[in-house]
Chains A and B, each alone.
Chain A
Amino acid sequence: MSIEDIKNKSKEDLIDYLIKFEDEIKELYLSGKIRSPVHFCKGNEEHLIDIFRNVKEGDWIFSTHRSHYHALLRGIGREWLKQEIMENKSIHINNEKYNFFTSAIVAGALPIAVGVAEGIKLENSKEHVWIFVGDMAAETGIFHECVKYARKQNLPITFVVEDNGLSVNTPTQESWGKEDSGENVIRYKYERVYPHHGCGQWVTF
């Protein structure tokens, strides 16, 4: 199946397609036939379907441990995906034919996605990178580094934050603190007189 085949389906049909797959995996999981973690996606259909309308053939998808919907919407075949899950690879769904990469380390795929985007820019090709992260990943330092670098370097990448408010069961915003954290930062500018170290003159030992 191609991404175009997916796009030709109606939103209602796609929701049905995703949920039926999820229900089938759930049955297998409950019957004890899958012996590794499975992260279900239910409730996240509509936004993803809208976002994947903009994904083109050849684009790169970077996903997480919760990747089943991303894979299906990228056009990866449901039977192949099901087989991978049955082989206990749910958190490591990778398919190079679809430029589909996942990492189960929170925020782990971010800089890899940025590197691919850098490569696309260097070769001036038309591919685009889509990276999906959760709300806790979006609070990490490396998320901000990657977003800032990609924006300033005008890289062909879109960061998508799927915010369900929870990281495992930790309320993301409560654990980070809801109040504005800007007041405890003082920032000023100055011009340095000397180089990074030393004083600009050679010393002989």
Chain B
Amino acid sequence: MTYKDEVIKAMELLARDKRVLFLGQSVAFPGSVVFGTLGTIDNSKKIELPIMEEAQAGMAIGLSLKGYVPVSIYPRMDFMWRAADQLVNHLDKIDEMSDGKFKPKVIIRTLVGSKTPFYPGLQHCSDYTDVFKLLFKNIDVVKLEKKEDIVPAYENALKSSKSTILIEISDLYNSE
């Protein structure tokens, strides 16, 4: 089993929960490594979105307020800064600023872009895990450095009452 196989297994586990929806770019159409990890998931559970990272983050919050568990996917961690406003000012704070009346729970899946054998450029392979851990007060941030951690981490994210950001490492995808 490779790292990627474990990611696929984790996505299948999430998809068995009827509340789960996968949203982002390349969830239903090929375009990034993400598409290949969702191949066994029924298209009815996918919402292919245009590039609008902040709106995507907000939509995920809205879907969670309606009872869904959105898995909001950003294929490269660099792109998450464009969603940061919604994550910092809303997802991280809504529970507190509504006195616990609204409790959005979103699973965010992102990847540190691979650097080898093909270098994608400075804006496509950054790892901001440490910064994110400092940035969020109420969102768990989990970096998936070992393949055996992947399924349990996604399972925990699904069970948790909190939102979770899970960070995959593209350079490990083919490792056994």
Contacts and interface: CB of A to CB of B under 8 A. Distances in A.
Contacts of B78: none
Nearest to B32: A196
A118 interface: yes
Interface stretch (A12-20, A21-29, A142-150, A165-173): A142-150
Interface in A89-137: 92, 94-96, 101, 103, 105, 108-120, 122-123
Interface residues of B, number: 33
Among B31, B58, B89, B99: residue with most chain A CB under 10 A: B58
Interface stretch (B48-56, B125-133, B149-157, B162-170): B48-56
Nearest to A92: B97
Given A145-B52, A146-B55, A149-B50, A112 B97 contact: no
B62 A108 contact: no
B50 A112 contact: no
A111 to B, nearest CB: 2
B65 A112 contact: yes
Contacts of B90: 103, 105, 108, 112
A112 B101 contact: no
Among B31, B47, B66: residue with most chain A CB under 10 A: B66
Given A94-B102, A146-B55, 9 more contacts: A92-B97, A94-B98, A108-B58, A108-B86, A110-B55, A112-B90, A116-B63, A120-B66, A205-B118
Interface of B: 21, 31, 47, 50, 52, 54-68, 70, 85-86, 89-90, 94, 97-99, 101-102, 117-118
9 contacts: A94-B102, A101-B65, A111-B61, A112-B86, A114-B55, A114-B58, A119-B66, A120-B66, A142-B54
